[in-house]
Amino acid sequence: MSTVKTAELVAIDERRLLRRLDDLAQRGALPGGGIFRALYTPAWTSAMELVTTWLKEGQLLTRRDAVGNVWGRIEGSRGGRAIVTGSHIDTVRGGGALDGALGLVAGIEAVTSLWERFGRPTRTLECVAICEEEGSRFDTNFWGARAIADRIEPNEAERTRDAAGTSLADAMRSVGLDPANAVQAVRRDIDVFVELHIEQGPVLEDHGPRLGVVTTITGTIHQEIVVRGQPDHAGAMAMSRRHDALVGASAMTLAIAELATRMGDPAVATVGTIVVEPAQVNVVPGIARFTVDARHPDAPRRTELITQIGDACKAAARERGLVVEIRTLRDRPPVTLSPRVADVLRRACRAAGLDPRDMASGAGHDAQVLAAAANTGMLFVPSIGGRSHCPEEATAAEDVVLGTRALASALRELAYQQ
């Protein structure tokens, strides 16, 4: 990666940017509020069609890759490895209008504005709508970025299922993709990937400034914990003789939250799902299954947190005569982003009028996967009230515009060098 050490403020079409964010938020909007665009569903297809229209309107060469990522490309006059921006199109269930959508719509705006104002870049410049990041439908995540970075395992699409039992491979077929071709999505010619994203936490709002440059992305482990007790009659079995799996799982949940709290920021741990069996009002739960999401950006501290969680669950099970099994679903270590791309982003923020804060991301991002394949950087704008993964997720319009301007300035420096 080589860049010209200049940064200039690039004008963008603010109204088009904000209107497109509103339009995209209609795709997958839920009647009760919030958005759900799960991979390869009709809402997802409709959103991808809209994005494709915008890429074509911007006169970008548009194509869908082998897993459904949609790319818009401007061939550089000197070719070489590509400069890429973008983010994911999928959402969590009941998510907001900006997680993923901002980086994608702002990426299209930045690339289109550069193309309109400065013509052909010297370096190939692309914008990508990544098909899946959240893990909100299938028992996996980062599907789109992993396909690009050659991190998909053989037969993974056939093995991976959603809650209804549909395989990822069948879901691909339902939108006209052949899972056998997934490997064709691999890109080995990306020089730089830059992702603009909402912070999803309160740091920028509470402490400023209005832009953050991400230096590290936290490490996340997802575990499934199964607690086995004994189903019994809810009326006739005495409290003292019960082996209630849900009572055990509840004690474990409290212990998990307490451990992360005691470790202190930025350690976090969440029990996000729980189901019991046989799930009947008058039966003592015999089995409780729950998931844990535990994160820390420092690898040894994260290992410590995971060990403490395991020990606490085993102790809670022992005390209540329960059996506990812990299974790792996914383990994504912390990732350090490119210092050189961070420098480009800092210069772009200064061109946009402020000195950014260096920060660690507590959320996972496509950037952490693409960092294995390219020099990768991330830019954050504030989230109002630090809220995200909920319908209330929002960022002030002027911050959306500011972040997009800074992104455009960074891409100008990266893709238009002489």
Interface positions with ligand GLV (CB under 6 A): 134, 363-364
In the numeric block, which tokens belong to residue 4?
A: 């010209």
246 versus 292: smaller Cβ distance to Mn ion: 292
Counting every residue, how long is the chain?
418
Based on CB atoms, which residue is closest to ligand GLV, 179 or 334? 334
Q: Is 403 in the site for Mn ion (CB under 5 A)?
A: no
> Considering CB distances under 5 to 8 angstroms, the limit depending on partner class, which of Mn ion, ligand GLV, none binds residue 379?
none
> Residue 99 Cβ, how far from ligand GLV at the closest point, in Å?
6
Q: Is 99 in the site for Mn ion (CB under 5 A)?
A: yes
Q: Does 96 bind Mn ion (CB under 5 A)?
A: no
* Cβ closest to Mn ion, residue 100 vs residue 248: 100
On whether the CB atoms of residues 121 and 415 are closer than 8 A, the answer is: yes
Site for Mn ion contains 100 (CB under 5 A):
yes
Give the shortest CB-363-to-ligand GLV separation in angstroms.
Answer: 4
Q: How far is the CB of 273 from ligand GLV (least distance, A)?
A: 13
> Which residues, 6 or more positions from 271, have their beta carbon under 8 angstroms from its beta carbon?
252, 253, 256, 257, 290, 291, 292
Does 199 bind Mn ion (CB under 5 A)? Our answer is: no
Q: How far is CA 23 from CA 17, 18, 38, in A?
A: 10, 9, 17
Nearer to Mn ion, 222 or 242 (CB): 222
**Nearest Cα residue to 179 out of 150, 161, 154, 162:** 154
In whole angstroms, give the CA distance from residue 332 to residue 378: 18
Least separation in angstroms between residue 92's CB and Mn ion is 6
Distance CA 303, CA 363 (A): 18
| Amino acid residing at 383 | S
Cα-flanking dihedrals φ and ψ of residue 72, to 5°? -120, 135
Q: How far is the CB of 332 from ligand GLV (least distance, A)?
A: 9
- The answer to whether 375 touches 32, Cβ cutoff 8 Å, is no
Q: Which does 109 bind (CB under 5 to 8 A by kind): ligand GLV, Mn ion, none?
A: none
From Mn ion, ligand GLV, none, interface partner of 393 (C-beta below 5 to 8 A by class): none
